[in-house]
Amino acid sequence: MIHISALPIEEYRVELVRRLKEKDPDHKVYEAMLPPADVPHPFYYIEDPRGTDDAAKREVMQDVYGTVSVWHDDPYRKNEVFKMLGLVGEVIREMETEGTPSYRWMVIDSGMRVVNDTVSGKTGSRGGTVYVHGLYEVHMKQIGSI
């Protein structure tokens, strides 16, 4: 039987979601679209990653650019958002050191920031809610197969 692995960008996404859920079962992980405003905060939101191919190689290698958001509806609890972003960083570093089922990775760049966000949650949000929006941004390079 021939095993065809997932594309690196898809394996990155699946592994990130799986590992976050495993490491932090107390907070929900959402993808594809933000949940309604009445879901419990804080939560993780995995934004769609972007990938680029290195066409100069014989094997398709990808750079993956990803953003994980942490949303909270209490601006006085930024410390909780920072802790959750720190956990995202741990997961990313584990993916780099351990690899994913099919690929080895190298973190090229990563960083986090937290901002008060009064605009993003307007659709379906509770009126007047000030959200804290934490972002963990990462650029990973697929450096080989396992």
What domains lie within the chain, and their CATH numbers? 8-145 (3.30.70.1700)
* 117 has a pLDDT exceeding 50: yes
pLDDT, mean of residues 100-125 = 81
Nearest to 61 by CA among 69, 70, 51: 51
Q: What is the pTM of this model?
A: 0.86
State both tokens at 57: 């190689």
Residues in the chain: 146
Ramachandran quadrant class, 10 (left: phi over 0; alpha: psi -120 to 50; beta: rest): alpha
The span from the CA of 21 to the CA of 12, in Å, is: 14
